[in-house]
Structure 1
Amino acid sequence: MNTHINGEQGSVSRHSRRNFIENGLKITVVSGVLGIGLLPGCKDKEKDEDEISPPEDLMREHGILNRVLLVYDHFLQMLASNEQINPQFLTDSASIIRNFIEEYHEKQEEDFLFPRFEKAHQLTDLVAVLKTQHQQGRIITDQILLLGKQPQLASASDQQKLNSLLTSFIHMYRPHEAREDTVLFPALRGIVSKHEFDSLGEDFEKREHQLFGEGGFEIFVEKVAKVEQQLGIYDLAQFTPKL
């Protein structure tokens, strides 16, 4: 009798273990399908992967700068062909530089990045040049905006001045942004702690929302796209060489 009872208990025990394993496997499969994290910190890991790092944020903002530089290139081509430039297009383009690049993007660099490199005594010569170029760029933008207030850019002196301003701006900012993307921004992780690095991203986002509300980057992507459309240079396919 005892043997029978023990046998039944062993059978029940084996049955319970089997059910436990099967139920555990089912939970694991369902959790994987639904994206439910079973381990602490899974959601935090997914959140971290979705967040944009400070260098990546600054680099994509350089994309807007680059698109305006392409617009400036087009203005130079128009001047070379003696085509009239609508002053409003000039104002719209320079306003993107003023509002997004100079008063937001460059201020982020000047307030959050440059002081940290200076404090760490790293890349200080580069930082000094970048700061000077920011100042020179704002002077050029002031003059471009001033020209844009005119009813038309008809005089030869105005066209010559605009040519010089656009050329100087492009000549300075192409190497400027390239040096930041390849030297300054990648070096940031080496001079700050992980906590400080992460908090910079929060600081960037906070200021963007203060200045532009939600989706500040997307707002200015749309603005530059509108200028490109008005100038007939929005279609990317037109830049593909025909070999």
Structure 2
Amino acid sequence: MTFDPNRRNLLRHSIAWSAAGAIAIPMIGRAFAEETKPSDPKEPEVTATEDLMREHGVIRRALLVYYEVIPRLRQKPGSVNAAALQQAATLFRNFGEDYHERMLEEAHIFPTVRKHGPEFLKYVDILTEQHNRGRQITDYVLAVTKNGKISSLHANPLADVFESFVLMYENHAAREDTIVFPAWKKNFSDKQLDEISDQFEDIEHKMFGKDGFEEAEKTISSIEAALGLDNLSKFTAPAPPRI
């Protein structure tokens, strides 16, 4: 039987192509896998305005602690956990006033917003006045809770102070979130805002270590637990009356 040399060449080439394919396919597969392999997950950076507003979240939770103890102070002051209130006031002083207000808002936000015209100048003046009033109130709270209990002499005045302070600061923070911070942000490019975010993070690290926000959130969570305020579902509003 004779064998066609052309067929022999075709067979030889087919074997060579098959061998090359067997080598190439895994290599292509590996290359494709390397290209499509997801990069190591990184936590997205917090923007400057997001940072300011989440700090407001910690401050608001401290205010809710104050709000929730108002009825207790008026009805049964001896049942109020004065140590937890002392912790809340200390957190408000260190994180809210000395860091968030002094180091960020008053040093970086307000001076820029003042340049937007008379209306914004008025806002900044009022907000600064409210910061100062808040510091007076924090001094008072720290003073009346320092002995581990709240005397009947201070219970009703403290309840009144908390009531007016919570109302002031809720309006204060709402105006900052919706008017002041957006006006401030308009002054900068995305690149500049990234640089400011890094600057704010550096300030936070210098004051509190690695992550002041996380520590503040842990602190307010422990205060809420000490006062029985850590179950979010208990604050779900009841259904409205039927019409």
**Which TM-score applies when normalising by structure 2?**
0.80
How many correspondences in the alignment? 227
Q: Taking every aligned residue pair, what percent have the same amino acid on both sides?
A: 35
- Unaligned segments of structure 2, at least 5 residues: 1-19
Counting only pairs closer than 5 Å after superposition, residues 1-243 of structure 1 correspond to structure 2 as: 27-33=31-37, 35=38, 50-84=44-78, 85-107=80-102, 108-121=104-117, 123-156=120-153, 158-243=154-239
Cα distance change, pair 151–217 in 1 and its aligned pair in 2 (3 A): closer
What is the CA–CA distance in structure 1 between the aligned matches of 2:180 and 2:194, rounded to whole Å? 17
**Greater Rg by CA:** 2
After TM superposition, give the deviation of residue 151 of structure 1 in Å.
4.8
Contact 1:120 1:191 in 2 (8 A): no
After TM superposition, give the deviation of residue 160 of structure 1 in Å.
2.2
Letter of the 1:88 partner, please give it.
Answer: A
What is the CA–CA distance in structure 2 between the aligned matches of 1:124 and 1:235, rounded to whole Å? 41
Cα distance change, pair 26–128 in 1 and its aligned pair in 2 (3 A): same
What is the CA–CA distance in structure 2 between the aligned matches of 1:83 and 1:147, rounded to whole Å? 12
Q: Aligned with 2:210: secondary structure?
A: coil
After TM superposition, give the deviation of residue 27 of structure 1 in Å.
3.1
Q: Aligned with 1:233: secondary structure?
A: coil
Cα distance change, pair 163–31 in 1 and its aligned pair in 2 (3 A): same
Letter of the 2:90 partner, please give it.
Answer: S
Question: Quick check: 73-82 or 202-211, which moved more?
Answer: 73-82
After TM superposition, give the deviation of residue 235 of structure 1 in Å.
1.1
Contact 1:72 1:166 in 2 (8 A): yes
Deviations 1:71-127 (A, max 9, x none): 001110212322422321221111110010000011211111111122454822211
Letter of the 2:44 partner, please give it.
Answer: D
What is the CA–CA distance in structure 1 between the aligned matches of 2:130 and 2:24, rounded to whole Å? 68
What is the CA–CA distance in structure 2 between the aligned matches of 1:112 and 1:28, rounded to whole Å? 48
Cα distance change, pair 22–126 in 1 and its aligned pair in 2 (3 A): farther
What is the CA–CA distance in structure 2 between the aligned matches of 1:21 and 1:124, rounded to whole Å? 68
What is the CA–CA distance in structure 1 between the aligned matches of 2:124 and 2:26, rounded to whole Å? 61
Question: Quick check: 122-131 or 95-104, which moved more?
Answer: 122-131
Contact 2:58 2:220 in 1 (8 A): yes
Contact 1:102 1:138 in 2 (8 A): yes
